[in-house]
Amino acid sequence: MEQIVIPIFLQCFFEFLGTFVMILLGCGVVACTTLKDSKGSGAGWIVITIAWGLAVMCGVFIAGPYTGAHLNPAVTFGLALAGKFDWAMVIPYMVSQLIGAFLGGLTVYFFYKDHFDRTADSDAKLGVFATIPAIRNLKRNFFSELIGTFVLIIVILFLAERGNVSEIGLGSIGALPVAFLVMVIGMALGGTTGYAINPARDLGPRLAHQVLHIKGKGSSQWWYSWVPILGPLAGTALAVLVFYIYLRLQPAIP
């Protein structure tokens, strides 16, 4: 059966659109639960983690048939490192994801602008866009992002390998399983940093926070921004290394 070749422009468009919807819904639930006078105010961490999982699922529904639904530079980097994705496509995918995340953050602001205006807490406003550590300990924060992303990538690699799918990404393990995966990472490992586990998810909306004229917004806290970028990339590299060892040992495993 002849394989359909999807033009690069379309692949990048669906990575952009899938990431945009994921961030719109993911950052949207944070706005809903933390900003003043929202009907969802105070709903808490469980609501946030469940909604983030479902937000990723929605992104997978959109991008999955066309790209495998990476929606995350760490996923793109990891798949290229594992030899399952063309290195020439890494930068176009990452740029598409970053633009989608940036515009998703902008849209959340305009959607919830009245509530941003009524919220005095500048950290709560930034927290809608970007991750903030619960306790400032950069080494531990970095480790948290590394481990959270390691779990994400290793599960994707193992399930994709065993599922024998043509397109590799979040979509390779199915929309609902990936939603559950993101939920459990958030519930189990998200309490320290807010679990970016995705450089675009943090950097794109943080850039939106920087450029927007938000009343009393405070700092964009760029001193922390390297953690949700380098932590996920390091976690991805570790996951790929473990996966490579598994492939080398596979003939010896009954």
Whether residue 3 lies inside any domain: the answer is no
pLDDT at residue 197 is higher than 50: yes
pLDDT tens per residue, range 140-175: 999 999 999 999 999 988 887 765 444 556 766 678
Asked whether the predicted pLDDT for residue 218 surpasses 70, the reply is yes
Are 46 and 187 in contact, with CB atoms under 8 Å apart?
A: yes
DSSP-assigned letters across all residues of the chain: -PPPPPPHHHHHHHHHHHHHHHHHHHHHHHHHHHSTT-TTTT--HHHHHHHHHHHHHHHHHHHHHHH----SHHHHHHHHHTTSS-GGGHHHHHHHHHHHHHHHHHHHHHHTHHHHHH---HHHHHHHHS---SS--HHHHHHHHHHHHHHHHHHHHHHHHHHT-SS-SGGGG-HHHHHHHHHHHHHHH-TTT----SHHHHHHHHHHHHHS--TT-----TTTTTHHHHHHHHHHHHHHHHHHHHHHHGGG--
Domain presence at residue 71:
yes
Q: Quote the domain boundaries for residue 70.
A: 8-252
Q: Is residue 124 part of a domain?
A: yes
Write the CATH number for 94: 1.20.1080.10
Whether residue 1 is contained in a domain is answered as no
Q: Assess if residue 172 is contained within a domain.
A: yes
| Position 122 in a domain | yes
Could you tell me the pTM of the whole model?
0.93
**Quick check: is 214 in a domain?**
yes
| Position 2 in a domain | no
Model confidence pLDDT, tens digit, residues 25-79: 999 999 999 999 999 999 999 999 999 999 999 999 999 999 999 999 999 999 9
Report how many domains make up the chain. Answer: 1
